[in-house]
Structure 1
């Protein structure tokens, strides 16, 4: 996971550096101005969406293999809990795929929405080299996962006291997490199949399709002078999912301000979200840290006499602690 997440962070940083924008609603069309960044970012999106033959699919597949052996667990609680976790994992993978379809589509596809996106340029070659290296690592780890599993085996042994069987000795570079009669995965064969299928499909299209050209005006859906504002936005793309999960998980509320007929003001649409986990768990901690930081901030405005007195008091307190400490 660290590989494709690092790749995605690199890609987001490249877009931020090139455009100065953090809001996807202000981007679009970057595939024409940053094609190499778009390509490696697409690899990262496919990997985090657990699509074969990349490393994200292997990690997801191994997790599901562990879930499938949950009936062998001794505790009935775990027997019921682990399949539920598997269902949540499948749901999270689906939502991750939808999320990164939105991220890539809104950021790199379509037309530019702002001058910042219009003036974007490809990032520097050192950043590109790092991103291409990570993208290649995502592919290699997905095609030949056994070598990476064996390389990480000592870490797993130290953390959990156990490890998977040695995978580099399995025939045809497959991985067998439990038993060959139960399940196995061969990333190399999947990769070869996908490449051959793509080549065969391209050959069939070029061979069998008509080579005659027909030119006609593109269908504009009744908007002859289409504006970039009529494109799908990140908010509109996420609206169906937000309406399914948002009202319960995030207390989502949609507000529409529609002017009356004859009013020249534009219509406005806004969404109000509340992250319940953040509000319940992290917001109090963040508030406490902020309060302490505000109070400690006064220390930098002390006079020399006050500062020396504070240092002396801290030294005395430290000596008392050392004297009392057994």
Structure 2
């Protein structure tokens, strides 16, 4: 039976293949090991069958349902003898992403519990405490606050769902442009895409390919994938007389450092080395952004909870204070 692998399982699979290849095992032996480790899932059986049929490992790994930008990157890596490195770095990033995702869920659990508890207290105060104290306008104020709070939560959830649905409908390139604009997590996606693009360019240049060769190869990738879209865009632009550096400046998915490297006038192996070095820096930057985004989540949620607590106290205590002042 084919079961959908989790992000963490996909990452582990890529890392295991990378380690086995580095230790001298063949691709076929590496996949056999994964079949033994995951005997309840025949995804790796399908990958093994593809390898036996003569397909490249990058093609066979499509059964892991990896994002097209990652799938294309593995194809580039295999063509230029950097498969172990690409598998390892992609696996590490996916594993880090899965870890942060799980930690994110854990961090959300406590604030969500507190928020639910506060809502329960508000409802309890409205039904039981306020009527007994006979506070003028207290029930109406709590009603209004509850409605505003629930409406805000509902609108927030609806907005997130609608945004997710809209992004899913877009092509890979348009999806990437939408993701990099999202507050907080946008930087993570941007540095991740830049890492893959720079690494691919570096590997292709290191093998002796020129700009037009790279664009021609990349344009054959999956339609509307990031690499294919950029290749077609740059070939069309250069052939119509547009300035390459200006096009790099205008492209949101390319780092400004790429323009600086090209302006230095380097070419061939040295340019390839610089791009690969820059991709390593983007790799580390992606991991830093992941940690930073995770560290922001809980303080923001606790800030929202603090506001709810303060407003709740004000709604109840101010009317009571006014009533006591009137009695005195």
The TM-score by the shorter chain falls in which range?
under 0.3
- Alignment TM-score, normalising by the size of structure 2: 0.24
RCO higher in structure (CA 8 A, sep ≥6): 2
The structure in which a higher percent of residues are helix is 2
